[in-house]
A and B are shown apart, each in its own frame.
Chain A
Amino acid sequence: MLLQQLINGLVVGSIYALIALGYTMVYGILFFINFAHGDILMVGSFIGLWLAMSGKGGLLFVLLGGMLGAGLLGISIERLAYRPIRNGGRLSAILSALGVSIFLENFFIKFQGPKWRAFPEAVFADKVFQIGNAHITLMQCLILAVTIILCALLTYFINKTKMGRAIRATSEKPVVAALMGVNINKTITAVFFIGSCLAGAAGVLIGSYFNAVYPLMGWTPGIKAFVAAVLGGIGSLPGAVLGGFLLGILEVLAVAFVSSSYRDAIAFGLLILILLIKPAGLLGKNESEKV
């Protein structure tokens, strides 16, 4: 029973982790909470669904297509809605994100309908494995594997490549980074592309795991992942992954052993608790007050 719950928690948590990475990367550089992130996930999920329906490629094709589509959308949103107000304060950025979110959701409601749609079964054929007295499905293995691979790739990219170094420098001190020859605009574009790709991957995975793709699907996982990012320390990449897994496991355990109707309250109660005890999050840097 406990092992089964842990497996379910890890799977949900890994999806939260993928989404939380996008929030935290954008926050690390621009200090603004991208409230349209959940909707980018939704678009990624729809693109994955269309590719799967066309039946031309396998699993990898669907996943990469969803990621690429979401990534390109992320770049365009940054260019059109966020860049013009980059120096206009965080409030304007949040409001612009709200506008993007309203637009995307209603665009998809208009052209795809508000109903739930399911992935064709052939793409993610399901098999069940037995571990002790717990089950793990092929789909669940796939979600964990994709998350681990993407996290490994991201770690390599951030730590070993030139663009990764530029991203780290910009999140440390944008002005100095610019003086050292880092192209800030390019760096921000890269951050949005990567964050949105991860959201797209999460979208395809959620859409097929819960077998539901619909225009408002991004909201709940979006805000949960946001909680995960804060939990781990917003701005910190390992923190986002840790926060995602932690939140996923705690939620599943709470549903199993406490009550299912208060599932969402647990996530947000945790958010308030961590903010009161350690506002910078588990792995975040504590900053002292400056005059």
Chain B
Amino acid sequence: MGGYFEQIVILIGINLMLALSLHVVLGETGLFSVGSSAFMAIGAYVATVFFLKFNIPFYACILFAGVFSGLTALIVGIPTLSLKGDYLLMGTFGFAEVTRVVLLNMEVTNGALGIAGIPILSHIHNIYAIFLILFFVTLLLINSKVGRAWRAIREDEIAARALGINTAFYKNVAFVTSAVYAGVAGSLYAFNIGFISPGDFSMVMAFTVYLFIVLGGLGDIYGAMIATALLTALPELLRSAAEYRMMAYGLALIVLVIYFPRGIFDKIGSLKSKLQKMGEAEEEVR
């Protein structure tokens, strides 16, 4: 497999984990969190520092990255998750920016210069193995009591509370789960690129994952995964446009959102049902 093609496949794998992370918190539970870039950064830094400074084995570092991001989410989530809608978005936005500034100023993170010389230990096989584990864990969660509580909160939080669901608890479970996924994705990213700096984990990245989820059809886990793969490959397909690539990407984003407000697959689905109806109508005429 060529190096360039391999790199795209790896990028897709990492984005799939981020999409899974956002699917849990936004798609299932309906919480507008933009903290994923911060949790990804925390995971990346925890894993690299543990590996380089304390000589801890690679897979243990990945585990620690997830645990640390999850713990941070627990601490951040307890006060902020009571915020509603847009205010939660603003609160997590503030948290992400504070994290970035702290990483820029800490000694162990080497500030704006970042950490270089991280050994390349994450490849296609282990990234996708970890992704599959996370994916099946998510499926188990979604089909359990926890998942039903999440969807109840998404549909109507007050009604869910009236039914005796501990909404604060289940919101926090979703937030922590999503942070663990983002942290793991961040650590794998660090060990694939070999270099990290605070600027790598930007707000734009967090919103790009939103794009995957929305175009996959909000709440549809398989749609989200397919959209992630397609949209990660899209800027690469535009590479022939070279310097116009990012401009074209911006325009493509607007056009996609305008034409597919409910996701790409919703439109294909409705077209199918329309064709079916036409077919049935024809049969009736006969």
Which residue on B lies nearest to A287, using beta carbons?
A: B84
Indicate whether A31 reaches chain B with its CB closer than 8 angstroms.
yes
Residues of B within 8 A of A279 (CB): 83-84, 87
Which of B42-50, B165-173, B244-252 sits within the interface? B244-252
In contact, A275 and B91 (Cβ under 8 angstroms): yes
In contact, A99 and B214 (Cβ under 8 angstroms): no
Residues of B within 8 A of A265 (CB): 97-98, 101-102
Q: A31-B86, A85-B258 are in contact. Are A107 and B95 (CB under 8 A)?
A: no
Secondary structure at the B interface, as helix, strand, loop or mixed, is helix
Residues of B within 8 A of A223 (CB): 97, 203
Q: A110-B244, A223-B97 are in contact. Are A103 and B105 (CB under 8 A)?
A: no
In contact, A269 and B94 (Cβ under 8 angstroms): yes
In contact, A85 and B261 (Cβ under 8 angstroms): yes
Chain B min CB distance to A207 (Å):
23
Q: Which of B86, B95, B250, B253 contacts A272 (CB 8 A)?
A: B95
In contact, A271 and B86 (Cβ under 8 angstroms): no
Query: Bound state CA distance, A110 and B250, in angstroms?
Result: 14
In contact, A103 and B251 (Cβ under 8 angstroms): yes
Q: A102-B249, A276-B79 are in contact. Are A262 and B207 (CB under 8 A)?
A: no
Residues of B within 8 A of A275 (CB): 80, 83, 87, 90-91, 94
Query: Bound state CA distance, A267 and B90, in angstroms?
Result: 12
Which of A53-61, A89-97, A175-183 sits within the interface? A89-97
Which residues of chain A (254-291) have a CB below 8 Å from chain B? 261-262, 264-265, 267-269, 271-272, 275-276, 279, 289, 291
Chain B min CB distance to A102 (Å):
4
Which residues of chain A (102-116) have a CB below 8 Å from chain B? 102-107, 110
Residues of B within 8 A of A102 (CB): 204, 246-247, 249-250, 253
In contact, A264 and B253 (Cβ under 8 angstroms): no
Query: Bound state CA distance, A110 and B207, in angstroms?
Result: 23
Indicate whether A230 reaches chain B with its CB closer than 8 angstroms.
yes
A-contact bits for B251-262, CB 8 A (1 contact / 0 none): 111100110010
Indicate whether B282 reaches chain A with its CB closer than 8 angstroms.
no
Residues of B within 8 A of A227 (CB): 94
Indicate whether B283 reaches chain A with its CB closer than 8 angstroms.
no
In contact, A276 and B253 (Cβ under 8 angstroms): no
Which residues of chain B (168-217) have a CB below 8 Å from chain A? 203-204, 207-208, 210-211, 214
In contact, B261 and A98 (Cβ under 8 angstroms): no
Q: A110-B247, A271-B90, A279-B87 are in contact. Are A91 and B214 (CB under 8 A)?
A: yes
A-contact bits for B226-264, CB 8 A (1 contact / 0 none): 000000000000000001101101111110011001000
Q: A264-B101, A265-B102, A271-B94 are in contact. Are A96 and B251 (CB under 8 A)?
A: no
Most chain B CB neighbours (cut-off 10 Å) among A89, A104, A106? A106
Residues of B within 8 A of A267 (CB): 97
Most chain A CB neighbours (cut-off 10 Å) among B87, B251, B261? B261
Which residues of chain B (86-110) have a CB below 8 Å from chain A? 86-87, 89-91, 93-95, 97-98, 101-102, 104-105
Query: Bound state CA distance, A101 and B83, in angstroms?
Result: 27
Indicate whether A163 reaches chain B with its CB closer than 8 angstroms.
no
Chain B min CB distance to A267 (Å):
8
Query: Bound state CA distance, A104 and B249, in angstroms?
Result: 11
In contact, B94 and A94 (Cβ under 8 angstroms): no
Residues of A within 8 A of B268 (CB): none
Indicate whether A241 reaches chain B with its CB closer than 8 angstroms.
no
In contact, B257 and A92 (Cβ under 8 angstroms): yes
In contact, B86 and A95 (Cβ under 8 angstroms): no
Residues of A within 8 A of B211 (CB): 95, 98
Q: What are 27 A-B residue pairs whose CB atoms fall within 8 Å in the complex?
A: A31-B86, A84-B258, A85-B261, A88-B257, A91-B218, A95-B253, A98-B204, A98-B207, A99-B254, A102-B246, A102-B250, A103-B250, A106-B250, A110-B244, A227-B94, A230-B90, A265-B101, A268-B97, A268-B98, A271-B93, A271-B94, A272-B94, A275-B80, A275-B91, A275-B94, A279-B87, A291-B159
Interfacial residues, chain A to chain B (CB-CB below 8 A): 31, 33, 35, 80-81, 84-85, 88-92, 94-96, 98-107, 110, 223, 227, 230, 234, 261-262, 264-265, 267-269, 271-272, 275-276, 279, 289, 291
Q: A91-B210, A268-B101 are in contact. List 17 more A-B contacts (CB 8 A).
A: A31-B86, A35-B207, A80-B254, A85-B257, A91-B218, A96-B254, A98-B208, A99-B254, A103-B251, A110-B244, A110-B247, A262-B101, A268-B93, A268-B94, A271-B90, A271-B91, A275-B87
